[in-house]
């Protein structure tokens, strides 16, 4: 973004108290860095829990036939893997990054609503304890898929109200996080920081927060109506009582499609910060990047019907949803073009955050292209409910959203801890992740095109070979994530001292680099002046 210099500001916070001691520091945390850290640690734990569920799925699918789990538990694994990864791993990780970086990027001392910030984090452990405990109640956990389509989801056992309450808590947490982000950005920017001078990560998060405000209440409304259908005799989605189960799908995907962008727009912001730093060039077309993100956010509200082509809908509706979906390729193309143009004739170096950012650029594009294929109505009729769809959205979410998060952690970790991490181990983590994420998900395109349905524990023998390859990729990808934890833990415990700019020869721009490494407890006790 525009060059932002902080005038001399006071690094001392001698008028402020430091962190509280012991457990109170975390239980009663109002500091954006402490809350950001808790969000990031929580999301890492959830990443491994959701990953363990994925390993159960891949272990069962290693060979045809039923070997390890019964079909009901398999369906519980697919459902809860999705819920844990989306609401427990990816979204909290981005909120954690927002907590750490937004006040530092806009020159604020903290988030605008610190006590609500504490509340929005501490809801999450309760929400996910409740969600995971459903695996142990009579009738088992939800097994109808994360989309919770009725009437199937209404057949969930005793765990149904627990599931609904857990989703409500996750939604409340996300909404509070989004309100905090918007209010902080709109009210706490340093003097002289116009909106167009804000860094791209902050911009991407501002747009994401508006998406959250608009769609999380819709999900909450939809699951509330499921609850009343189940327990209070309403018929919102019950055809026997005059309701319409397809209406649930419309409402769900009105939330669900923007949700996809909630999980990727902050990653767009991260990549837009990292590529210019390590290409040693300003971001190409920075303003057009902001307009592109805003356009994608707008389009995300009018494309939900592409998830429901096979439900049956008028031809005009099919055409509308197909065209509007394909239109998303235009702003996305602007972004990929700008990222590529930023790299063009740059003096590129390949530190771990840059490696993850470059991998994101290539692999997310694969997910984008398979998304374009799925947007075509007659093609979708063939691919719907096959592993091609699974391959598509995992390319968007794993080397897309998750690699974006990993790139951000490797970019800012030395700033947070004050120590450099082990570059060799981080590069090993990168190469193992990039190789095995492709071994894991690329064969799933072939399986889907050959007709293998998704959400099944058993399959025809003709699909065996690629399932074995995919499972081997899955186990190796999962194991390689242990390296990520080792790099982070070692960096937190010590290491070579990081300078204030961290990536000295790359000269990163932005207010966060004007602070010490690690930054003071309250980032900007005196507002910096932006030239």
Partner 1 sequence: MSATVNPPNKKRIRNSALGLLAVVLVFYFGFMALLIYRSHH
Give 323's contacts (C-beta < 8 A, 6+ positions apart). Answer: none
Candidates 257, 392, 415, 522; catalytic one: 257
| 289-295-296 Cα angle (round to 5) | 90
- Whole-number minimum distance, CB 514 to partner 1, in Å? 16
Asked about 291 being catalytic, the answer comes back as no
Closest CA to 43 of 482, 489, 402, 426: 402
Tokens of 196: 């167009």
Residue 187 in the binding site for partner 1 (CB under 8 A) = yes
Residue 19 in the binding site for partner 1 (CB under 8 A) = no
Residue 355 in the binding site for partner 1 (CB under 8 A) = no
Residue 526 in the binding site for partner 1 (CB under 8 A) = yes
| 65-70-71 Cα angle (round to 5) | 80
- Whole-number minimum distance, CB 165 to partner 1, in Å? 15
Total chain residues near partner 1 (CB under 8 A): 39
- Cα distances from 215 to residues 86, 181, 194, 322, 506, in angstroms, run 15, 16, 28, 21, 39
Nearer to partner 1, 114 or 510 (CB): 114
Buried b (16+ CB within 10 A) or exposed e, 424-438: ebbbbbbebbbebbb
Asked about 259 being catalytic, the answer comes back as yes
Residue 519 in the binding site for partner 1 (CB under 8 A) = no
d(CA 426, CA 483): 7
Nearer to partner 1, 414 or 528 (CB): 528
Torsion angles phi and psi, residue 242, rounded to 5: 90, 5
d(CA 209, CA 186): 12
Using CB under 8 A, which of 22, 242, 312, 378 touches partner 1? 242
Stretch of 110-118, 153-161, 256-264, 451-459 lying at the interface with partner 1 (CB under 8 A): 110-118
Residues 142-171 that bind partner 1 (CB under 8 A): none
Nearer to partner 1, 77 or 209 (CB): 209
Stretch of 44-52, 101-109, 156-164, 488-496 lying at the interface with partner 1 (CB under 8 A): 101-109
Using CB under 8 A, which of 35, 55, 108, 263 touches partner 1? 108
- Whole-number minimum distance, CB 5 to partner 1, in Å? 18
Asked about 5 being catalytic, the answer comes back as no
- Cα distances from 154 to residues 130, 142, 265, 394, in angstroms, run 18, 9, 33, 27
Asked about 229 being catalytic, the answer comes back as no
Candidates 79, 153, 272, 433; catalytic one: 272
Using CB under 8 A, which of 164, 225, 265, 409 touches partner 1? 225
Candidates 174, 202, 342, 433; catalytic one: 174
- Cα distances from 218 to residues 150, 311, 466, in angstroms, run 16, 21, 39
Q: How far apart are the first and last CA of the chain?
A: 13
Using CB under 8 A, which of 275, 483, 527, 530 touches partner 1? 527
Asked about 257 being catalytic, the answer comes back as yes
Asked about 81 being catalytic, the answer comes back as yes
Give 167's contacts (C-beta < 8 A, 6+ positions apart). Answer: 83, 87, 219, 220, 223
Candidates 32, 33, 335, 392; catalytic one: 335
CB 517 within 8 A of CB 7: no
- Whole-number minimum distance, CB 200 to partner 1, in Å? 22
Where does 244-385 show beta strands of DSSP type E?
none
d(CA 352, CA 410): 6
- On the question of a cis peptide bond just before residue 448, with omega within 30 degrees of 0, the verdict is no
- Whole-number minimum distance, CB 269 to partner 1, in Å? 21
Residue 182 in the binding site for partner 1 (CB under 8 A) = yes
Nearer to partner 1, 119 or 291 (CB): 119
At 398, is the secondary structure helix, strand, or coil? helix
d(CA 103, CA 32): 8
Tokens of 152: 């199937």
Using CB under 8 A, which of 175, 270, 491, 530 touches partner 1? 175
Using CB under 8 A, which of 82, 90, 112, 166 touches partner 1? 112
Using CB under 8 A, which of 87, 203, 236, 253 touches partner 1? 236
Point out which residues bind partner 1 (CB under 8 A). 16, 107-110, 112-113, 116, 175, 178-179, 182-183, 186-188, 190, 213-218, 220-222, 224-225, 235-236, 242-243, 247, 251, 522, 524-527
Residues assigned a catalytic role: 81, 110, 146, 173-174, 257, 259, 261, 272, 306-307, 332, 335, 454
């Amino acid at each position: 973004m525009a060059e932002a210099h902080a005038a001399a500001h006071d690094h001392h916070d001698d008028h402020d108290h430091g962190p509280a001691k012991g457990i109170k520091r975390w239980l009663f945390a109002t500091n954006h860095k402490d809350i950001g850290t808790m969000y990031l640690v929580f999301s890492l734990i959830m990443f491994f829990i959701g990953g363990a569920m994925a390993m159960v799925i891949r272990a069962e699918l290693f060979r045809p036939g039923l070997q390890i789990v019964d079909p009901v538990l398999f369906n519980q694994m697919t459902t809860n893997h999705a819920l844990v990864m989306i609401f427990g791993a990816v979204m909290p990780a981005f909120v954690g990054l927002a907590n750490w970086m937004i006040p530092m990027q806009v020159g604020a001392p903290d988030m605008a609503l610190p006590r609500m910030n504490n509340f929005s984090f501490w809801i999450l452990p309760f929400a996910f304890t409740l969600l995971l405990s459903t695996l142990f109640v009579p009738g088992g956990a939800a097994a109808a898929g994360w989309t919770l389509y009725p009437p199937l989801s209404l057949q969930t056992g005793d765990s149904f109200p627990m599931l609904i309450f857990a989703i409500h808590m996750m939604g409340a947490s996300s909404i509070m996080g989004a309100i905090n982000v918007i209010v902080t950005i709109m009210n706490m920017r340093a003097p002289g920081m116009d909106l167009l001078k804000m860094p791209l990560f902050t911009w991407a998060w501002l747009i994401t927060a508006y998406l959250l405000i608009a769609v999380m209440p819709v999900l909450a409304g939809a699951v509330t109506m499921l609850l009343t259908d189940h327990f209070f005799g309403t018929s919102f989605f019950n055809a026997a009582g005059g309701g319409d189960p397809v209406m649930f799908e419309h409402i769900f995907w009105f939330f669900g499609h923007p949700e996809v962008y909630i999980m990727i727009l902050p990653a767009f912001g991260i990549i837009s910060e990292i590529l210019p730093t390590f290409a040693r060039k300003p971001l190409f077309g920075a303003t057009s990047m902001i307009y592109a993100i805003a356009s994608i956010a707008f389009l995300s509200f009018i494309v939900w019907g592409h998830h429901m082509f096979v439900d049956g809908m008028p031809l005009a509706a099919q055409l509308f949803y197909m065209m509007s979906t394909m239109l998303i390729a235009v702003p996305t193309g602007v972004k990929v073009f700008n990222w590529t143009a930023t790299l063009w004739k740059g003096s590129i170096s390949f530190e771990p955050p840059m490696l993850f950012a470059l991998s994101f650029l290539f692999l997310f594009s694969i997910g984008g292209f398979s998304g374009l294929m799925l947007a075509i109505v007659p093609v979708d009729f063939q691919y719907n409910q096959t592993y091609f769809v699974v391959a598509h959205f995992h390319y968007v979410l794993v080397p897309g959203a998750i690699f974006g998060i990993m790139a951000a952690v490797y970019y800012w970790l030395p700033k947070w801890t004050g120590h450099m991490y082990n570059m060799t181990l981080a590069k090993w983590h990168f190469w193992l992740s990039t190789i095995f994420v492709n071994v894991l998900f690329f064969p799933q395109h072939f399986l889907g095109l050959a007709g293998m349905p998704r959400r099944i524990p058993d399959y025809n023998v003709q699909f065996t070979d690629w399932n074995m390859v995919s499972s081997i990729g899955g186990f190796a990808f999962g194991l390689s994530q242990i390296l990520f934890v080792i790099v982070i833990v070692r960096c937190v415990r010590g290491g070579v001292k990081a300078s204030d700019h961290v990536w000295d020869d790359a000269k990163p721009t932005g207010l966060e680099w004007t602070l010490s490494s690690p930054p003071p407890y309250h980032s900007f006790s005196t507002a910096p002046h932006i030239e």
